[in-house]
Amino acid sequence: MKQKWVLITGASSGIGAACAKKLGEMGYNLILTGRRKERLEELANNIKAGETLVASFDLQKPGEIESFCARHEAYLKKLDVLINNAGLAKGNEKVDEGSVKDWDLMIDTNVKGLMHMTRGVLPHMVAKKEGHIVNLGSVAGRWTYPGGAVYCASKFAVRAFTEGLRMDLQGKNIRVTNVEPGMVNTEFSLVRMGSKEKAEAVYQGMTPLKAEDIADTVAWVLLRPTHVNIQEIVIYPTDQAHVGMVHRS
């Protein structure tokens, strides 16, 4: 069987790193991207995989995405799967007190970065007449909560983009999936809250999902027969019944 190529954004941590490990073990060739190059190199050196390419760039900067795509066109022509995973939440203030800098960071990364990355890769998949794009949405792209307006708006945008993309690609043999997790214990809360103590409190008394749970789901989605498109999948930890409803012991 031909070894497939997968590009994972945000492979330097959390869900992206777990996807790299899982898909590498399954024999995929990996293109690992993110801003922290040393982390990506360390991961590439320590996981089982086919061939591995590491590329560090900032998804907030369209020019960096463009130059990555131009520089690595030969790899992108072979690409079977794009996992648009990189993203973040920053802050949890109410809108009237929120930081517009944090809002720009979320929108530029979660929405524009994902869209630009997709635009850069997609023509090669269309030419090849096959491919699969997996977006990391969130339950926050389906339901909102206080202090989450802008992060939720960014993930609602990911869901809308995924739906529209699926329609635009109809007949082109390219699958599109939106994976929508609830609480996953990664660096996500540390980035959002800015301190270890505050991040730990998020998961106090409850059992969150692990990054590996989401990687398993992504692997399952990819392994469906090619006539099957898992369009959306919502995964909550058992202790979380809704965005603001968490059982704590």
CA distance 28 to 194: 34
Minimum distance between the CB of residue 53 and ligand NAP, rounded to whole angstroms?
Answer: 16
Q: Which is nearer to ligand NAP, 131 or 141 (CB)?
A: 141
Within the chain, residue ranges assigned H as helices are 14-25, 37-46, 62-71, 73-76, 100-106, 114-128, 149-168, 188-193, 196-202, 211-223
Find the shortest distance in angstroms from Cβ 183 to ligand NAP: 5
Q: Are 107 and 150 in contact (CB under 8 A)?
A: yes
List interacting residues with ligand NAP (CB under 6 A). 9-10, 12-16, 34-36, 39, 58-60, 85-88, 109, 136, 138, 181, 183-184, 186-188, 191, 211
The one-letter amino acid at 50: G
Q: Who contacts 197 (Cβ-Cβ below 8 Å, separation ≥6)?
A: none
CA separation for the pair 76, 69 (Å, rounded): 7
Nearer to ligand NAP, 3 or 194 (CB): 194
For residue 50, the minimal CB distance to ligand NAP (Å) is 21
Cα–Cα nearest to 212, from 9, 19, 6, 11? 19
171: its two tokens: 């007949």
Please identify, using beta-carbon distances, which residue of 169 and 179 lies nearer to ligand NAP.
Answer: 179
In the bound state with ligand NAP, the residue whose beta carbon lies nearer, of 60 and 173, is 60
* Known catalytic residue at 151: yes
Which residue out of 75, 151, 203, 236 is catalytically annotated? 151
How far the first Cα of the chain sits from its last, in Å, is: 48
For residue 202 the two structure tokens come to: 């998020």
User: Under a CB-based contact definition with an 8 Å cutoff, are residues 120 and 71 in contact?
Assistant: no
**Residue 100: helix, strand or coil by DSSP?**
helix
Is 131 or 181 the residue whose CB approaches ligand NAP more closely?
Answer: 181
- Tell the smallest beta-carbon distance from residue 182 to ligand NAP (Å): 6
Count of helix runs (H) and strand runs (E) in the chain? 10, 9
CB of 47 to ligand NAP, least distance (A): 15
- Just list the catalytic residues: 151
